[in-house]
Structure 1
Amino acid sequence: MVKATTELHQLDRSLVWSGFKQLAPISLFVIVFGAAFGLAAAQVGLSDSTIIGMSTLVFAGASQFAVLDLWGTQMPLFTMMLTVFAINARHLLMGATLYPWLRHLPAPQRYGVMLTASDANWAMSMQAFSRGEPGLGLLLGGGLALWSFWIVGTWLGIHFGNAISDPASLGLDMVMGCFLLAMVVGGERNLRMLVIWSIAAIASLLAYWYLPENSHVVVGALAGGMAGMIRGGKQR
């Protein structure tokens, strides 16, 4: 039996610890990409403290790699901000999908939880909510696992990064994609969901081919969301 929405916003130490343990296995692969970032940042000329500080405070792998391409004596600050915003715009949609449960938390706790939001722990928390189980522990605990392993990986990359300078050459760049795909396959399966995911996929591909870089994530999510609202309205 599905619990009431007001019961699904539970957040305590046991749920957070459970979320940490559930995301720990996938977090091991994050170490590799953290190491790749640490190495790349060191090669650009950033100090050790700056690199660790960036991974600690920013915690956004794709954005951090993108910023390295813009790093130099004359840093285009506005361009950097715009790039980071574009890459992470999907977090606006993540926050919107989580709001029905986050709204029950005090504001400091709500925003603190969202600081750890990323693709993997968001997907697992949404899957938990769909099963009628509390998901905020997964969001926070899983996020803490990903965050801490990302920092550890960054440190390893600074000092031992030459061991794995190109994770993609080992196929490790596919790990997160396969994980998220498994989350989708493990969710609700019916004609309505097939239509929604198909529309989202087509819109995302078209945006990837014809629109500015990184816009495909937001376009696909918006297209899928609109399709879900339309299909949901037709079923009423």
Structure 2
Amino acid sequence: MSDLSAFSLAGKRVLVTGANTGIGQGIAASVARAGGAVIGVGRSAMDETAARIAKLGGSFEAVAADLADPAVAAAMLDRIWDESGPLDGLVNNAGIIRRADAVDLSEADWDDVIDINLKTVFRLCQNFARRVLAQPGRRGKIVNIASLLSFQGGIRVASYTASKHGVLGITRLLACEWAHRGINVNGIAPGYIETNNTEALRGDPDRSTAILGRIPAGRWGRPDDIGDAAVFLLAPASDYMHGAVVAVDGGWLAR
């Protein structure tokens, strides 16, 4: 294997959830840039992602699905596998957040976040693995998008923090079960990234200054920073990595 081929996704098909914007779009673009065919999944239109990948000369297929229902998500993966062919990689990026003081957080806000951020992630991993393991000799790679709040507590995001701690846990658990069976399960914990979700923070001079003051790299991350890390975890270069959750945070957790 040449040095370049170790980081190539040529000939690989990768499903990326939440590929319409932000980190998901960055991951989709990075996968396409590395030669992989991207199947993007989300509730909203992915025209912008499709256009960006078209400029790269890559392959992109948009699939509409409501990932709030874990059963629907699992059936969607099976349908893609049956109708357009096997998948080589799965990136569980889609997620939501609900903010409230812990004493005020509603049961609905707890359930909605846990369902999408954790239960759907597990069901997609489960169905992906079932398909891979059903074909002797096939390998597969899963990348789960965790969070800095997989390691920290946070404030006013109880269900999100619980879900992301859970993502860290199941990433390690699934790696232990599947490493010897040809499936790599790893994760990425993004730091503060320039996306629509952080626009308000970046627009607040006091908050932005405080955040940047703790990031050793001295800048906000870009979606492609996460995307390029995902490519590494999907490519042959990471074949001996199992159960790792890599912080791509400009040094935030090291501070």
TM range (shorter): under 0.3
Higher RCO structure (Cα 8 Å, ≥6 apart)? 1
User: Under a length normalisation based on structure 2, what TM-score does the superposition of the two structures give?
Assistant: 0.21
Higher normalized helix content (fraction of residues): 1
User: Under a length normalisation based on structure 1, what TM-score does the superposition of the two structures give?
Assistant: 0.23
Larger radius of gyration: 1
Higher normalized strand content (fraction of residues): 2
